[in-house]
DNA sequence: ATAATTGCAAAACGTTTGCAAAAAT
DNA sequence: ATTTTTGCAAACGTTTTGCAATTAT
C-alpha cells in the first residue's frame, strides 16, 4: 500500500476500501464493489470505484478480465496468478494455475514473437457437469 | 444459409447483408457492420444488426470476442478457426491457428474435465515490435 | 393469411467526465 | 497552503426493448 505513496498518489480511505473489497470478493465488477461497500459505514461513489480500479490496475495490484455478461471483473494480482475457466453452461468460473498454459506461451514466443500475458487469460468452454447434464451442446447461444 | 430456414427462421435481405459484411470485414463490431452497410443501396438498422449477430451466433455461423476497447467484435466461423493475439502496445490483432493451444486444451480436458472452446480465445500480450520499441513495459495501464 | 422480422424511438445498461467541495499531503 | 481526490450530476457509447409497419412464408 505504500506503493501508492511511493508513486506520488495519496492513500485514501476509499482506495483502501476498494482494494479490500476486490480482495474479499475475488471476482468483482465495479458494481459489485460498489454494492459491497454500500453496506459498510463508509461508502464509496461508483465513479470513485471506477477511478480507483483503473489506478490499481495501473499499479498492477489488480487485474481484470471480461468473464461473461456485460461488465469487466477485477481480481487481485496475488503473485501466483491464474487462468479463468468459464463454463458457458452454468456460468461457473474456476481458476487454474498459469502452468496449464506454459505450452501455449512457449509456442507464441517462439513462433509468433509474442509475449503473452496469461494472467488475464479467459478460456470459455463447458465443464464436465454441464456436458453430462446436456450432451446436446448445440443450442447454447441463447443462454445469455 | 439454408441453415436459417431449416431451423424455422426466415431468410431476409438484412440477414444476408449482415453475414456478408462480417465476412468482408473479418473483425467487425456491430457499429462497423452498420456503417459498412450504410453506404450500400440497402441499409440495415443498428438494432437489426445486433439482433442478427445474436442469431448468427446462436447458429454458430459467427463467433465473437472482446478484443479491446468497448465493443464486441464478430467474425465468421470458418472451420479452420483461430486464436486472437492482441497486442497491448499497438492494439494490433493477429491470428494464430488453433493448434497453438492444443497443449492447453489437452491439459484442461485431462486435469480439469473442462472442454475448452478455443475458437473464441483471446490472448493479450505484447508483440515483438512493441517490446523492442519500448522495453520498459511497466506503465501500460493508461493506454486505454 | 399468418407469423416472423424490421425500423424507429426510447430506455437501459456500463463507463467516463467536469466541476466544486472535501481530504491528504 | 497546496494539490490530489472525492461525490455528484450529467454525458457518453454500447446494447436492449416495445411496438406498429413491413415482409417472408
From the alpha carbon of A70, which nucleotide's C1' atom is closest? C14
Tell me what the pLDDT averaged over chain A comes to: 86
For B79-92, what is the mean pLDDT?
A: 80
Cell of B114: 473442462
Q: What is the pLDDT of residue A39?
A: 76
Cell of B23: 465476412
Nearest protein residue to the C1' atom of C15, measured from CA = A50
For A18-33, what is the mean pLDDT?
A: 94
Distance CA B32, CA A105 (A): 32
Distance CA B14, CA B34 (A): 11
A85-117 per-position pLDDT tens digit: 988 778 788 889 999 999 999 999 999 999 998
Least Cα distance to B85 among B73, B97, B75, B76 occurs for B97
Distance CA B137, CA A35 (A): 34
The backbone torsions φ and ψ at residue A95, rounded to the nearest 5 degrees and listed phi first, read: -120, 140
For chain A, the 3-state helix, strand and coil shares in percent, each to the nearest 5, are 45, 20, 35
pTM: 0.80
Contact A84, A65 (CB under 8 A): yes
Distances (CA, A) of B77 to A76, A122, B63, B93: 34, 19, 6, 17
B1-79, what's its fold? Arc Repressor Mutant, subunit A (1.10.10)
Distance CA B52, CA B21 (A): 12
Q: Name chain A contacts of B119, Cβ cutoff 8 Å.
A: none
Domain B81-144 has CATH 2.40.180.10: no
pLDDT at position B144 over 50: no
pLDDT at position B53 over 70: yes
B8-37 per-position pLDDT tens digit: 999 999 999 999 999 999 889 999 999 999
Q: In sequence order, which residues have a C-beta less than 8 Å from that of residue B72 and are 6 or more positions away? A: B29, B30, B64, B65, B66
**Rounded percentage of chain A residues whose pLDDT exceeds 70:** 91
Q: What is the pLDDT of residue B56?
A: 95
Residue written as grid cell 447434464: A133
Contact A71, A65 (CB under 8 A): no
Q: For residue B9, give how far its alpha carbon lies from the nearest alpha carbon of chain A (Å).
A: 14
Q: What is the pLDDT of residue A144?
A: 28
Answer with the residue of higher pLDDT: B110 or A39. Answer: B110
From the alpha carbon of B70, which nucleotide's C1' atom is closest? D14
B103-141 per-position pLDDT tens digit: 999 999 999 999 998 887 889 888 998 888 776 544 433
> β-strands B62-65, A73-76: how paired?
unpaired
Q: What is the pLDDT of residue B139?
A: 40
Per-domain residue ranges for chain B? Answer: 1-79, 81-144
Residues whose CB falls within 7 A of nucleic chain D? Answer: A 9-10, 12, 14-15, 43-45, 47-48, 51-52, 70, 144; B 5, 10-13, 29-31, 46-47, 50-51, 54, 70-72
Asked if A134 has any chain B CB less than 8 Å from its own CB, the reply is: no
Q: Which residues of A97-108 are buried (b: 16+ CB within 10 A; e: fewer)?
A: eeebbebbbebb
Distance CA B72, CA A22 (A): 25
Identify any residues that bridge with B87 across adjacent strands, giving them in sequence order. Answer: B125
Topology agreement, domain B1-79 and domain B81-144: no
Distance CA A64, CA A75 (A): 6
Answer with the residue of higher pLDDT: B40 or A18. Answer: A18
Contact A84, A97 (CB under 8 A): no
**B21 CA vs C7 C1’ separation (Å):** 19
Q: What is the pLDDT of residue A135?
A: 64
Cβ within 8 Å of B, A 85-114 = 85, 87-88, 94, 96, 100-104, 107-108, 111-114
Contact B13, B4 (CB under 8 A): no
Amino acid at each position: 500500500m505504500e506503493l501508492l505513496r511511493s508513486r506520488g498518489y495519496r492513500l485514501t480511505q476509499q482506495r483502501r476500501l476498494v482494494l479490500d473489497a476486490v480482495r474479499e470478493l475475488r471476482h468483482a465488477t465495479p458494481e459489485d464493489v460498489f454494492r459491497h461497500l454500500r453496506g459498510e459505514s463508509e461508502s464509496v461513489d461508483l465513479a470513485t470505484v471506477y477511478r480507483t480500479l483503473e489506478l490499481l490496475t495501473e499499479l498492477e495490484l489488480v487485474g481484470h478480465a471480461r468473464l461473461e455478461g456485460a461488465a469487466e471483473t477485477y481480481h487481485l494480482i496475488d503473485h501466483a496468478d491464474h487462468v479463468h475457466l468459464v463454463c458457458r453452461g452454468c456460468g461457473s468460473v474456476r481458476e487454474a494455475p498459469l502452468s496449464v498454459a506454459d505450452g501455449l506461451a512457449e509456442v507464441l514466443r517462439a513462433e509468433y514473437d509474442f509475449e503473452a500475458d496469461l494472467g488475464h487469460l479467459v478460456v470459455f468452454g463447458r465443464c464436465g457437469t454441464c456436458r453430462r447434464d446436456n450432451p446436446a451442446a448445440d443450442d447454447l447461444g441463447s443462454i445469455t
